Amino acid sequence: MNSADTESGRSNANRGLAPLTCACGRCGQLFAYEDRLMLAELAVCDACSDAFSLCVDCNAWTLLTELDDENSCNACRQAALPIQAYAYKPEPVFFGTGSKLFLGLELELNLEERSCDLPTLAGACLQILPYCYAKRDRSIRYGFELVSHPATLNYHRAAWSQALPAWNRIRQTHRFCCAGQTGIHVHLSKAFFSASELAKLVYFCNQPTNRDFLAAIGQRPLGHWSRSEAGGIKQALSGEYDRYRVLNCNPAATVELRLFNGSERWEDILKNLEFADAIGHWIKQPDCRPGCDYRHFLAWLLGNPQPSGGYACLSDFVRQHLDSL
The pLDDT profile of the chain, 325 residues, written as one tens digit per residue, is 343 333 333 333 334 445 688 888 788 788 787 777 777 677 888 888 888 888 887 888 888 888 888 788 876 765 556 899 888 899 999 999 999 999 999 999 998 877 788 988 999 999 999 999 999 988 888 899 999 999 999 999 999 999 999 999 998 888 888 887 899 999 999 999 999 999 999 999 988 899 999 999 999 998 877 777 776 666 666 666 777 889 999 899 999 999 999 999 999 999 999 999 999 999 999 989 877 899 999 999 998 777 767 899 999 999 998 776 6
Asked whether residue 75 is domain-assigned, the answer is no
pLDDT of residue 17: 45
47 and 105 both lie in a single domain: no
228 and 314 both lie in a single domain: yes
Asked whether residue 74 is domain-assigned, the answer is no
136 and 261 both lie in a single domain: yes
87 and 38 both lie in a single domain: no
23 and 162 both lie in a single domain: no
pLDDT of residue 280: 97
Asked whether residue 76 is domain-assigned, the answer is no
pLDDT of residue 41: 75
Asked whether residue 283 is domain-assigned, the answer is yes
pLDDT of residue 11: 33
CB 317 within 8 A of CB 272: no
89 and 122 both lie in a single domain: yes
147 and 188 both lie in a single domain: yes
Alpha-carbon distance of 325 to 318, in angstroms, equals 8
Asked whether residue 186 is domain-assigned, the answer is yes
Q: Kindly report the pTM of this predicted structure.
A: 0.74
Nearest alpha carbon to residue 154 among 192, 99, 105, 106: 99
132 and 170 both lie in a single domain: yes
Asked whether residue 25 is domain-assigned, the answer is yes
Asked whether residue 78 is domain-assigned, the answer is no
196 and 241 both lie in a single domain: yes
56 and 96 both lie in a single domain: no
Alpha-carbon distance of 38 to 61, in angstroms, equals 9
24 and 109 both lie in a single domain: no
257 and 304 both lie in a single domain: yes
Structural domain of 96: 83-324
In CATH, what number is assigned to the domain containing residue 223? 3.30.590.20
CB 166 within 8 A of CB 128: yes
Asked whether residue 14 is domain-assigned, the answer is yes
pLDDT of residue 115: 74
pLDDT of residue 10: 31
- The number of domains in the chain is 2
